[in-house]
């Protein structure tokens, strides 16, 4: 991690912490969610793994308004239904500290969701900052030391197999 990324993570950690405004029922986070945001990783290896789980995720989210945030150059790899809205992000257009640009943050804040599912397997500053900016009542992700204070629900997994880690996260939906 270079000095700019370290500064970016520090800037991100200074942002407001998520508010806990009620009881979270586990498993079954999606039971009362009408608007759901699914955030896909920017790293190709993680994206390639996560996209194999995406049909299962969308099946669980059937009947809900779903927005998928995906890296711009991975968008064509998605196989989704026509009911999903797809928004793109481009980490190559990050600020000098690796954070999303103000335009990307404005687009992220334009909609409010009941649930945000961050499917990132490894922490990525840009994607974590984007998740922090997306407005959602409940945010769930895999546990990472760098992003511990930015989500409401963190799923821990001791497995070194990334597919099992993602599968563990999906069991809470």
pLDDT in tens, 87-106: 999 999 999 989 999 999 99
Give the mean pLDDT of 74-98.
87
pLDDT of residue 120: 92
Backbone φ, ψ for residue 158 (5° rounding): -85, -5
pLDDT of residue 152: 83
pLDDT at 23 over 50: no
Of residues 26 and 156, more confidently modeled: 156
What are the structural domains of the chain?
Answer: 3-10+29-170 (3.40.50.2000)
pLDDT at 85 over 60: yes
pLDDT at 17 over 70: no
Summarize pLDDT for 132-171 with one digit per residue, the tens: 999 998 899 988 877 777 888 888 888 889 999 898 888 8
pLDDT at 20 over 70: no
pLDDT of residue 158: 80
Three-class SS state of 11: helix
What's the gap between Cα 144 and its chain centre? 13
pTM: 0.83
CA–CA gap between residue 26 and residue 24 (Å, rounded) = 6
At 121, the pLDDT band (50, 70, 90 cuts) reads very high
Instruction: Please give the full DSSP string across 62-80, using - where no structure is assigned.
Output: TTSEEEEEEEGGGGGG---
């Amino acid at each position: 991690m270079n000095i700019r990324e370290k500064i970016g993570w520090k800037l991100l950690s200074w942002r407001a912490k998520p508010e806990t405004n009620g009881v979270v029922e586990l498993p079954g986070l999606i039971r009362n969610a009408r608007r759901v945001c699914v955030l896909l990783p920017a790293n190709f290896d993680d994206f390639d793994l996560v996209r194999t789980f995406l049909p299962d995720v969308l099946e669980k989210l059937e009947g809900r308004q779903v927005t998928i945030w995906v890296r711009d150059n991975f968008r064509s790899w998605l196989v989704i239904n026509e009911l999903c809205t797809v928004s793109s992000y481009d980490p190559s257009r990050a600020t000098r500290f690796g954070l999303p640009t103000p335009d990307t943050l404005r687009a992220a804040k334009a909609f409010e969701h009941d649930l945000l599912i961050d499917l990132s397997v490894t922490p990525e500053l840009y994607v974590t900052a984007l998740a922090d900016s997306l407005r959602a009542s409940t945010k769930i992700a895999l546990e990472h030391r760098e992003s511990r204070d930015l989500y409401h629900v963190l799923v821990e997994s001791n497995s070194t197999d990334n597919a099992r880690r993602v599968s563990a996260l999906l069991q809470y939906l």
